[in-house]
Chain A
Amino acid sequence: MYSLGEYIECIVAIMSTRHVLLGLLAERPKHGYELKKEHDHHLPGARPLAYGQVYATLQRLERDGFAEVAETAQGGGPERTVYAITDRGGAELARWLEEVEESAPYVVSPLFSRVVVAAVTGGAADGYLLRQRAAHLARMRELTAERRSGSPARALAADYALQHLDADLRWIETAMERLADLRGEIDA
Protein backbone atom coordinates (compact mmCIF):
# COMPACT_ATOMS: atom_id res chain seq x y z
CA MET A 1 0.00 0.00 0.00
CA TYR A 2 1.26 3.49 -0.78
CA SER A 3 1.19 6.27 1.75
CA LEU A 4 0.52 9.79 0.62
CA GLY A 5 4.09 10.57 1.65
CA GLU A 6 5.55 7.86 -0.56
CA TYR A 7 3.50 9.08 -3.48
CA ILE A 8 4.59 12.67 -3.13
CA GLU A 9 8.16 11.59 -2.46
CA CYS A 10 8.35 10.03 -5.90
CA ILE A 11 7.28 13.32 -7.38
CA VAL A 12 9.50 15.45 -5.18
CA ALA A 13 12.49 13.28 -5.94
CA ILE A 14 12.15 14.20 -9.59
CA MET A 15 11.06 17.72 -8.95
CA SER A 16 13.83 20.14 -8.26
CA THR A 17 13.94 21.38 -4.69
CA ARG A 18 15.87 24.38 -6.02
CA HIS A 19 12.89 25.58 -7.98
CA VAL A 20 10.52 25.10 -5.08
CA LEU A 21 12.79 27.20 -2.86
CA LEU A 22 13.16 29.81 -5.60
CA GLY A 23 9.38 29.95 -5.83
CA LEU A 24 9.08 30.49 -2.08
CA LEU A 25 11.72 33.23 -2.23
CA ALA A 26 9.81 34.98 -5.03
CA GLU A 27 7.25 36.06 -2.44
CA ARG A 28 9.82 37.93 -0.27
CA PRO A 29 13.30 37.34 1.19
CA LYS A 30 13.35 34.50 3.73
CA HIS A 31 15.79 32.63 5.92
CA GLY A 32 16.46 28.91 5.83
CA TYR A 33 14.21 27.90 8.68
CA GLU A 34 11.29 29.79 7.18
CA LEU A 35 11.88 28.11 3.80
CA LYS A 36 11.92 24.67 5.38
CA LYS A 37 8.67 25.34 7.25
CA GLU A 38 6.90 26.68 4.17
CA HIS A 39 8.15 23.86 1.98
CA ASP A 40 6.80 21.27 4.42
CA HIS A 41 3.50 23.15 4.68
CA HIS A 42 2.89 23.52 0.96
CA LEU A 43 3.93 19.98 0.10
CA PRO A 44 2.28 17.96 2.87
CA GLY A 45 3.14 14.31 2.72
CA ALA A 46 6.46 15.09 1.07
CA ARG A 47 9.49 14.06 3.06
CA PRO A 48 10.26 17.08 5.26
CA LEU A 49 13.32 18.93 4.02
CA ALA A 50 16.45 18.46 6.14
CA TYR A 51 18.09 21.71 7.24
CA GLY A 52 21.34 20.59 5.63
CA GLN A 53 19.52 20.23 2.32
CA VAL A 54 17.97 23.68 2.60
CA TYR A 55 21.34 25.35 3.20
CA ALA A 56 23.16 23.35 0.57
CA THR A 57 20.46 24.28 -1.95
CA LEU A 58 20.57 27.95 -0.97
CA GLN A 59 24.34 27.98 -1.42
CA ARG A 60 24.00 26.45 -4.87
CA LEU A 61 21.35 29.03 -5.79
CA GLU A 62 23.71 31.76 -4.63
CA ARG A 63 26.62 30.25 -6.58
CA ASP A 64 24.52 30.19 -9.76
CA GLY A 65 23.40 33.78 -9.25
CA PHE A 66 19.75 32.85 -8.69
CA ALA A 67 19.68 34.06 -5.08
CA GLU A 68 21.73 36.39 -2.93
CA VAL A 69 22.26 37.08 0.74
CA ALA A 70 20.01 39.99 1.64
CA GLU A 71 20.84 40.29 5.30
CA THR A 72 22.91 38.51 7.94
CA ALA A 73 21.82 38.98 11.51
CA GLN A 74 24.59 39.78 14.00
CA GLY A 75 25.90 36.88 16.03
CA GLY A 76 23.36 34.44 14.64
CA GLY A 77 23.97 31.00 13.24
CA PRO A 78 23.57 30.29 9.53
CA GLU A 79 19.78 30.23 9.93
CA ARG A 80 19.93 33.98 10.43
CA THR A 81 21.03 34.53 6.87
CA VAL A 82 18.16 35.95 4.84
CA TYR A 83 18.18 35.13 1.13
CA ALA A 84 16.49 37.01 -1.70
CA ILE A 85 15.78 35.97 -5.27
CA THR A 86 17.76 37.77 -8.00
CA ASP A 87 16.48 38.86 -11.42
CA ARG A 88 18.29 35.92 -12.91
CA GLY A 89 16.60 33.65 -10.34
CA GLY A 90 13.24 35.14 -11.27
CA ALA A 91 13.88 34.39 -14.95
CA GLU A 92 14.95 30.83 -14.10
CA LEU A 93 11.80 30.31 -12.03
CA ALA A 94 9.61 31.61 -14.87
CA ARG A 95 11.37 29.27 -17.32
CA TRP A 96 10.84 26.28 -15.02
CA LEU A 97 7.17 27.07 -14.44
CA GLU A 98 6.57 27.18 -18.20
CA GLU A 99 8.52 24.02 -18.96
CA VAL A 100 6.35 21.09 -20.05
CA GLU A 101 6.93 17.88 -18.17
CA GLU A 102 8.12 15.04 -20.39
CA SER A 103 5.28 12.53 -20.88
CA ALA A 104 6.57 9.09 -20.09
CA PRO A 105 5.86 6.80 -23.07
CA TYR A 106 5.24 3.89 -20.69
CA VAL A 107 4.96 3.76 -16.94
CA VAL A 108 6.67 0.84 -15.32
CA SER A 109 5.71 -0.03 -11.79
CA PRO A 110 5.98 -3.16 -9.65
CA LEU A 111 2.21 -3.53 -10.05
CA PHE A 112 2.53 -3.63 -13.82
CA SER A 113 5.56 -5.95 -13.75
CA ARG A 114 3.87 -8.43 -11.43
CA VAL A 115 0.88 -8.80 -13.73
CA VAL A 116 3.02 -9.19 -16.84
CA VAL A 117 5.25 -11.79 -15.19
CA ALA A 118 2.19 -13.65 -13.89
CA ALA A 119 0.76 -13.74 -17.42
CA VAL A 120 4.06 -14.81 -18.99
CA THR A 121 4.53 -17.64 -16.50
CA GLY A 122 0.94 -18.76 -17.07
CA GLY A 123 -0.12 -17.84 -13.57
CA ALA A 124 -3.47 -16.23 -12.90
CA ALA A 125 -3.13 -12.65 -11.79
CA ASP A 126 -6.81 -12.33 -10.85
CA GLY A 127 -6.39 -13.08 -7.16
CA TYR A 128 -3.47 -10.70 -6.89
CA LEU A 129 -5.34 -8.01 -8.79
CA LEU A 130 -8.38 -8.27 -6.52
CA ARG A 131 -6.20 -7.98 -3.42
CA GLN A 132 -4.31 -5.05 -4.90
CA ARG A 133 -7.62 -3.42 -5.75
CA ALA A 134 -8.80 -3.79 -2.15
CA ALA A 135 -5.53 -2.31 -0.85
CA HIS A 136 -5.68 0.65 -3.23
CA LEU A 137 -9.31 1.31 -2.39
CA ALA A 138 -8.57 1.18 1.33
CA ARG A 139 -5.93 3.88 0.81
CA MET A 140 -8.37 5.89 -1.32
CA ARG A 141 -10.87 5.82 1.55
CA GLU A 142 -8.26 7.29 3.89
CA LEU A 143 -7.32 9.96 1.37
CA THR A 144 -11.00 10.83 0.78
CA ALA A 145 -11.50 11.33 4.52
CA GLU A 146 -8.27 13.33 4.73
CA ARG A 147 -9.30 15.55 1.85
CA ARG A 148 -12.57 16.45 3.55
CA SER A 149 -10.97 17.39 6.84
CA GLY A 150 -7.68 18.86 5.70
CA SER A 151 -6.28 22.14 4.47
CA PRO A 152 -6.41 23.17 0.79
CA ALA A 153 -2.77 22.10 0.42
CA ARG A 154 -3.67 18.69 1.80
CA ALA A 155 -6.72 18.49 -0.48
CA LEU A 156 -4.52 19.18 -3.53
CA ALA A 157 -2.04 16.49 -2.47
CA ALA A 158 -4.85 14.04 -1.71
CA ASP A 159 -6.47 14.72 -5.12
CA TYR A 160 -3.19 13.99 -6.85
CA ALA A 161 -2.70 10.72 -4.99
CA LEU A 162 -6.38 9.73 -5.37
CA GLN A 163 -6.37 10.22 -9.12
CA HIS A 164 -3.17 8.23 -9.53
CA LEU A 165 -4.51 5.37 -7.43
CA ASP A 166 -7.72 5.57 -9.46
CA ALA A 167 -5.71 5.27 -12.67
CA ASP A 168 -4.05 2.12 -11.27
CA LEU A 169 -7.45 0.71 -10.35
CA ARG A 170 -8.89 1.36 -13.78
CA TRP A 171 -5.89 -0.33 -15.31
CA ILE A 172 -6.39 -3.30 -12.96
CA GLU A 173 -10.00 -3.60 -14.14
CA THR A 174 -8.95 -3.51 -17.79
CA ALA A 175 -6.14 -5.98 -17.11
CA MET A 176 -8.54 -8.44 -15.51
CA GLU A 177 -10.81 -8.32 -18.54
CA ARG A 178 -7.94 -8.59 -21.01
CA LEU A 179 -6.45 -11.53 -19.13
CA ALA A 180 -9.85 -13.24 -19.14
CA ASP A 181 -10.08 -12.67 -22.92
CA LEU A 182 -6.56 -14.02 -23.43
CA ARG A 183 -7.33 -17.16 -21.45
CA GLY A 184 -10.53 -17.56 -23.45
CA GLU A 185 -8.50 -17.47 -26.69
CA ILE A 186 -5.98 -19.98 -25.39
CA ASP A 187 -8.71 -22.34 -24.20
CA ALA A 188 -10.58 -22.11 -27.52
Chain B
Amino acid sequence: MLEARALRKAFGRTTALDGVSAEIGEGEIIAITGPSGSGKSTLLHCLAGIIRPEAGEVRLDGRRVDTLDEDDRTRLRRENFGIVFQFGQLVPELSAVENVALPLLFNRHGRRESLRTARSWLERLDTADCADHLPGELSGGQLQRVAVARALAVGPRVVFADEPTGALDSLAGEQVMDTLVGTARESRTTLVIVTHDNRVAAYADREIVLRDGTVAGASTVGTSTAGAPAAGAPAAGGEATT
Protein backbone atom coordinates (compact mmCIF):
# COMPACT_ATOMS: atom_id res chain seq x y z
CA MET B 1 0.00 0.00 0.00
CA LEU B 2 2.81 2.41 0.97
CA GLU B 3 6.13 1.76 -0.67
CA ALA B 4 9.60 3.31 -0.68
CA ARG B 5 12.21 2.26 -3.19
CA ALA B 6 15.92 3.08 -2.98
CA LEU B 7 15.42 6.41 -1.21
CA ARG B 8 18.34 8.79 -1.01
CA LYS B 9 18.42 12.04 0.87
CA ALA B 10 21.27 14.21 2.11
CA PHE B 11 21.31 17.35 4.20
CA GLY B 12 24.40 19.25 3.12
CA ARG B 13 27.24 16.76 3.30
CA THR B 14 25.38 14.46 5.69
CA THR B 15 23.71 11.50 4.05
CA ALA B 16 20.48 10.75 5.91
CA LEU B 17 19.12 7.99 3.66
CA ASP B 18 21.39 5.90 1.49
CA GLY B 19 19.21 3.58 -0.55
CA VAL B 20 16.35 2.66 1.78
CA SER B 21 13.49 0.48 0.55
CA ALA B 22 10.44 -0.49 2.55
CA GLU B 23 7.00 -1.87 1.90
CA ILE B 24 4.10 -1.30 4.26
CA GLY B 25 0.80 -3.15 3.99
CA GLU B 26 -2.74 -1.95 4.67
CA GLY B 27 -3.49 -1.97 8.41
CA GLU B 28 0.08 -2.82 9.38
CA ILE B 29 1.73 -1.29 12.41
CA ILE B 30 5.40 -0.60 11.71
CA ALA B 31 8.15 0.71 13.96
CA ILE B 32 11.12 2.47 12.38
CA THR B 33 13.98 2.20 14.87
CA GLY B 34 17.70 2.86 14.99
CA PRO B 35 20.23 5.05 16.78
CA SER B 36 20.15 8.85 16.65
CA GLY B 37 21.08 10.10 13.21
CA SER B 38 20.31 6.80 11.50
CA GLY B 39 17.71 8.40 9.22
CA LYS B 40 14.50 7.34 10.99
CA SER B 41 12.73 10.69 10.89
CA THR B 42 13.93 11.44 7.37
CA LEU B 43 12.42 8.17 6.19
CA LEU B 44 9.14 9.03 7.90
CA HIS B 45 9.13 12.51 6.36
CA CYS B 46 9.74 11.04 2.90
CA LEU B 47 6.98 8.44 3.33
CA ALA B 48 4.57 11.11 4.57
CA GLY B 49 5.36 13.40 1.62
CA ILE B 50 6.70 16.13 3.89
CA ILE B 51 10.08 16.16 2.16
CA ARG B 52 11.13 14.90 -1.25
CA PRO B 53 13.92 12.38 -1.60
CA GLU B 54 16.75 13.19 -4.03
CA ALA B 55 16.49 9.76 -5.58
CA GLY B 56 14.15 6.84 -5.29
CA GLU B 57 10.38 6.60 -5.26
CA VAL B 58 7.55 6.76 -2.74
CA ARG B 59 4.21 5.31 -3.78
CA LEU B 60 0.80 5.22 -2.13
CA ASP B 61 -1.41 2.56 -3.73
CA GLY B 62 1.02 2.49 -6.63
CA ARG B 63 0.74 6.25 -7.21
CA ARG B 64 3.94 8.32 -7.03
CA VAL B 65 3.96 10.68 -4.07
CA ASP B 66 7.46 12.13 -4.39
CA THR B 67 6.94 13.58 -7.87
CA LEU B 68 3.77 15.50 -6.98
CA ASP B 69 4.07 19.28 -6.77
CA GLU B 70 3.77 21.01 -3.43
CA ASP B 71 0.01 21.66 -3.67
CA ASP B 72 -0.86 18.11 -4.69
CA ARG B 73 1.34 16.66 -1.98
CA THR B 74 -0.31 18.88 0.62
CA ARG B 75 -3.75 17.76 -0.54
CA LEU B 76 -2.70 14.10 -0.53
CA ARG B 77 -1.29 14.48 2.99
CA ARG B 78 -4.42 16.19 4.30
CA GLU B 79 -6.75 13.58 2.90
CA ASN B 80 -4.78 10.42 3.54
CA PHE B 81 -2.32 11.00 6.35
CA GLY B 82 -2.46 11.89 10.02
CA ILE B 83 0.69 12.92 11.84
CA VAL B 84 1.57 12.82 15.54
CA PHE B 85 4.73 14.64 16.60
CA GLN B 86 6.82 14.27 19.74
CA PHE B 87 5.54 17.45 21.32
CA GLY B 88 1.91 17.39 20.18
CA GLN B 89 2.39 20.62 18.23
CA LEU B 90 -1.12 21.81 18.90
CA VAL B 91 -2.07 25.39 18.13
CA PRO B 92 -1.71 27.08 21.54
CA GLU B 93 -4.47 29.66 20.99
CA LEU B 94 -7.12 27.05 20.14
CA SER B 95 -8.92 24.72 22.55
CA ALA B 96 -8.31 20.97 22.33
CA VAL B 97 -11.55 20.36 20.44
CA GLU B 98 -10.76 23.18 17.99
CA ASN B 99 -7.32 21.71 17.41
CA VAL B 100 -8.85 18.34 16.58
CA ALA B 101 -11.41 20.01 14.29
CA LEU B 102 -8.73 21.93 12.39
CA PRO B 103 -7.78 19.29 9.79
CA LEU B 104 -11.48 18.65 9.15
CA LEU B 105 -12.01 22.36 8.48
CA PHE B 106 -9.01 22.33 6.12
CA ASN B 107 -10.69 19.46 4.30
CA ARG B 108 -13.74 21.71 3.83
CA HIS B 109 -16.07 20.15 6.34
CA GLY B 110 -18.59 22.51 7.97
CA ARG B 111 -17.65 24.11 11.28
CA ARG B 112 -20.40 22.53 13.37
CA GLU B 113 -19.92 19.11 11.87
CA SER B 114 -16.14 19.37 12.36
CA LEU B 115 -16.50 20.32 16.01
CA ARG B 116 -19.00 17.52 16.58
CA THR B 117 -16.69 14.95 15.01
CA ALA B 118 -13.73 16.35 16.99
CA ARG B 119 -15.63 16.06 20.25
CA SER B 120 -16.62 12.48 19.56
CA TRP B 121 -12.97 11.60 18.89
CA LEU B 122 -11.91 13.15 22.18
CA GLU B 123 -14.59 11.10 23.92
CA ARG B 124 -13.40 7.97 22.20
CA LEU B 125 -9.84 8.63 23.37
CA ASP B 126 -10.96 9.28 26.94
CA THR B 127 -10.09 12.96 26.83
CA ALA B 128 -13.56 14.51 26.66
CA ASP B 129 -12.85 16.59 29.76
CA CYS B 130 -9.92 18.26 27.96
CA ALA B 131 -12.10 19.44 25.06
CA ASP B 132 -12.50 23.08 26.07
CA HIS B 133 -9.06 23.58 27.58
CA LEU B 134 -6.17 25.30 25.86
CA PRO B 135 -3.09 23.12 25.22
CA GLY B 136 -1.20 25.06 27.90
CA GLU B 137 -3.62 23.74 30.50
CA LEU B 138 -3.10 20.06 29.64
CA SER B 139 -0.56 17.48 30.82
CA GLY B 140 1.92 15.93 28.41
CA GLY B 141 -0.10 12.71 28.18
CA GLN B 142 -3.35 14.59 27.57
CA LEU B 143 -1.68 16.73 24.89
CA GLN B 144 -0.49 13.63 23.07
CA ARG B 145 -3.90 12.01 23.21
CA VAL B 146 -5.43 15.18 21.75
CA ALA B 147 -2.75 15.04 19.04
CA VAL B 148 -3.71 11.41 18.37
CA ALA B 149 -7.37 12.44 18.11
CA ARG B 150 -6.38 15.19 15.65
CA ALA B 151 -4.43 12.71 13.52
CA LEU B 152 -7.29 10.20 13.46
CA ALA B 153 -10.19 12.63 13.03
CA VAL B 154 -9.88 12.87 9.24
CA GLY B 155 -10.10 9.07 8.95
CA PRO B 156 -6.62 8.82 7.44
CA ARG B 157 -5.29 5.77 5.65
CA VAL B 158 -1.92 6.12 7.36
CA VAL B 159 -0.97 7.68 10.69
CA PHE B 160 2.69 8.67 11.07
CA ALA B 161 3.97 9.13 14.61
CA ASP B 162 7.42 10.62 15.25
CA GLU B 163 8.59 9.70 18.78
CA PRO B 164 5.01 9.98 20.06
CA THR B 165 6.01 9.20 23.67
CA GLY B 166 9.42 10.91 23.60
CA ALA B 167 8.38 13.59 26.07
CA LEU B 168 6.34 11.37 28.39
CA ASP B 169 7.05 9.20 31.43
CA SER B 170 6.48 5.42 31.23
CA LEU B 171 2.86 5.25 32.30
CA ALA B 172 1.69 8.28 30.32
CA GLY B 173 3.57 6.88 27.31
CA GLU B 174 1.89 3.54 27.74
CA GLN B 175 -1.53 5.18 27.81
CA VAL B 176 -0.82 7.12 24.62
CA MET B 177 0.49 3.99 22.88
CA ASP B 178 -2.48 1.88 24.04
CA THR B 179 -4.81 4.53 22.65
CA LEU B 180 -2.93 5.04 19.40
CA VAL B 181 -2.41 1.36 18.62
CA GLY B 182 -5.84 0.28 19.88
CA THR B 183 -7.63 2.82 17.69
CA ALA B 184 -5.45 2.10 14.67
CA ARG B 185 -6.24 -1.61 14.95
CA GLU B 186 -9.96 -1.00 15.40
CA SER B 187 -10.16 1.19 12.32
CA ARG B 188 -7.57 -0.84 10.38
CA THR B 189 -5.50 2.31 9.91
CA THR B 190 -1.88 1.78 8.91
CA LEU B 191 0.48 3.14 11.55
CA VAL B 192 4.13 4.05 11.06
CA ILE B 193 5.96 4.93 14.29
CA VAL B 194 9.48 6.34 14.51
CA THR B 195 10.96 5.57 17.91
CA HIS B 196 14.19 4.91 19.72
CA ASP B 197 12.21 3.32 22.58
CA ASN B 198 12.08 -0.47 22.33
CA ARG B 199 8.99 -0.58 24.50
CA VAL B 200 7.20 1.53 21.89
CA ALA B 201 8.61 -0.62 19.07
CA ALA B 202 7.13 -3.64 20.86
CA TYR B 203 3.64 -2.38 19.98
CA ALA B 204 4.35 -2.82 16.26
CA ASP B 205 3.83 -5.90 14.11
CA ARG B 206 7.21 -5.39 12.56
CA GLU B 207 10.23 -3.15 12.84
CA ILE B 208 12.56 -1.66 10.29
CA VAL B 209 15.99 -1.04 11.84
CA LEU B 210 18.01 1.76 10.26
CA ARG B 211 21.73 2.26 10.69
CA ASP B 212 23.68 5.02 8.94
CA GLY B 213 20.90 5.58 6.45
CA THR B 214 20.48 1.97 5.39
CA VAL B 215 18.20 -0.86 6.52
CA ALA B 216 20.19 -2.93 9.02
CA GLY B 217 17.51 -5.42 9.92
CA ALA B 218 13.87 -6.21 10.24
CA SER B 219 11.87 -8.33 12.59
CA THR B 220 8.36 -9.64 12.59
CA VAL B 221 5.95 -11.07 15.09
CA GLY B 222 6.61 -14.64 16.06
CA THR B 223 9.89 -15.07 14.20
CA SER B 224 13.34 -13.92 15.11
CA THR B 225 14.27 -12.49 11.74
CA ALA B 226 12.18 -12.14 8.65
CA GLY B 227 11.28 -9.91 5.78
CA ALA B 228 7.96 -8.17 5.27
CA PRO B 229 4.85 -10.22 5.98
CA ALA B 230 2.27 -10.55 3.25
CA ALA B 231 0.18 -7.42 2.96
CA GLY B 232 -3.40 -7.90 4.07
CA ALA B 233 -2.53 -10.29 6.88
CA PRO B 234 -1.21 -7.97 9.56
CA ALA B 235 -4.21 -7.98 11.88
CA ALA B 236 -3.21 -11.25 13.51
CA GLY B 237 0.10 -9.70 14.52
CA GLY B 238 -1.03 -7.84 17.61
CA GLU B 239 -2.57 -10.86 19.25
CA ALA B 240 0.55 -12.97 19.02
CA THR B 241 1.16 -15.02 22.12
CA THR B 242 3.64 -17.74 22.91
Residues of A bordering B, CB below 8 Å: 1, 3, 130-131, 133-138, 140-146, 148, 162-163, 165-166, 169-170, 173, 177
The 7 closest A-B pairs by CB, nearest first: A140-B202, A134-B219, A144-B202, A169-B198, A134-B224, A130-B217, A135-B224
Chain A, Cβ-Cβ closest to B237: A141
Count of chain B residues with a beta carbon within 8 Å of a chain A beta carbon: 24
A138's partner among B182, B209, B223, B239 (CB-CB below 8 A) is B223
CA distance A141 to B240 in the complex (A): 8
Given contacts A130-B216, A145-B239, contact A137 B225 (CB under 8 A): no
Residues of chain B contacted by A144 (CB below 8 angstroms): 199, 202-203
Q: Cβ of B178 and Cβ of A142 under 8 Å apart?
A: no
Give 18 A-B contacts (CB < 8 Å), ordered by A residue: A131-B224, A133-B217, A134-B217, A137-B202, A137-B207, A137-B219, A140-B198, A140-B201, A140-B202, A141-B203, A142-B240, A144-B199, A145-B239, A145-B240, A148-B182, A162-B199, A166-B199, A177-B35
Residues of chain A contacted by B14 (CB below 8 angstroms): none
Residues of B bordering A, CB below 8 Å: 35, 178, 182, 198-199, 201-204, 207, 209, 216-217, 219, 221-225, 238-242
Given contacts A134-B224, A173-B35, contact A143 B202 (CB under 8 A): yes
CA distance A103 to B12 in the complex (A): 47
Q: Cβ of B217 and Cβ of A170 under 8 Å apart?
A: no
CA distance A48 to B241 in the complex (A): 20
Residues of chain B contacted by A140 (CB below 8 angstroms): 198-199, 201-202
CA distance A137 to B199 in the complex (A): 9
CA distance A133 to B209 in the complex (A): 10
A3's partner among B219, B239, B242 (CB-CB below 8 A) is B242
In whole Å, how far is A148's beta carbon from the nearest beta carbon of chain B? 6
A145's partner among B199, B219, B238 (CB-CB below 8 A) is B238
In whole Å, how far is B172's beta carbon from the nearest beta carbon of chain A? 14
In whole Å, how far is B94's beta carbon from the nearest beta carbon of chain A? 32
Q: Cβ of A142 and Cβ of B225 under 8 Å apart?
A: no
CA distance A135 to B182 in the complex (A): 24
CA distance A146 to B238 in the complex (A): 10
Given contacts A3-B242, A130-B216, A137-B219, contact A170 B198 (CB under 8 A): yes
CA distance A140 to B222 in the complex (A): 11
CA distance A142 to B225 in the complex (A): 16
In whole Å, how far is B166's beta carbon from the nearest beta carbon of chain A? 15
Q: Cβ of A145 and Cβ of B241 under 8 Å apart?
A: yes
Residues of chain B contacted by A143 (CB below 8 angstroms): 202
Residues of chain B contacted by A165 (CB below 8 angstroms): 198
Residues of chain A contacted by B204 (CB below 8 angstroms): 141
Q: Cβ of B241 and Cβ of A142 under 8 Å apart?
A: yes
In whole Å, how far is A9's beta carbon from the nearest beta carbon of chain B? 15
Residues of chain B contacted by A134 (CB below 8 angstroms): 217, 219, 223-225
Residues of chain B contacted by A146 (CB below 8 angstroms): 241
Residues of chain A contacted by B203 (CB below 8 angstroms): 141, 144
Residues of chain B contacted by A135 (CB below 8 angstroms): 224
Chain B, Cβ-Cβ closest to A130: B217
Q: Cβ of A141 and Cβ of B199 under 8 Å apart?
A: no
Residues of chain B contacted by A173 (CB below 8 angstroms): 35
CA distance A161 to B44 in the complex (A): 30
Residues of chain B contacted by A133 (CB below 8 angstroms): 209, 217, 219
CA distance A1 to B178 in the complex (A): 25
CA distance A1 to B203 in the complex (A): 18
Q: Cβ of A166 and Cβ of B198 under 8 Å apart?
A: yes
Residues of chain A contacted by B225 (CB below 8 angstroms): 130-131, 134
Q: Cβ of A141 and Cβ of B202 under 8 Å apart?
A: yes
CA distance A133 to B241 in the complex (A): 18
A141's partner among B35, B209, B216, B221 (CB-CB below 8 A) is B221
In whole Å, how far is A179's beta carbon from the nearest beta carbon of chain B? 13
CA distance A3 to B217 in the complex (A): 23
Residues of chain B contacted by A136 (CB below 8 angstroms): 198
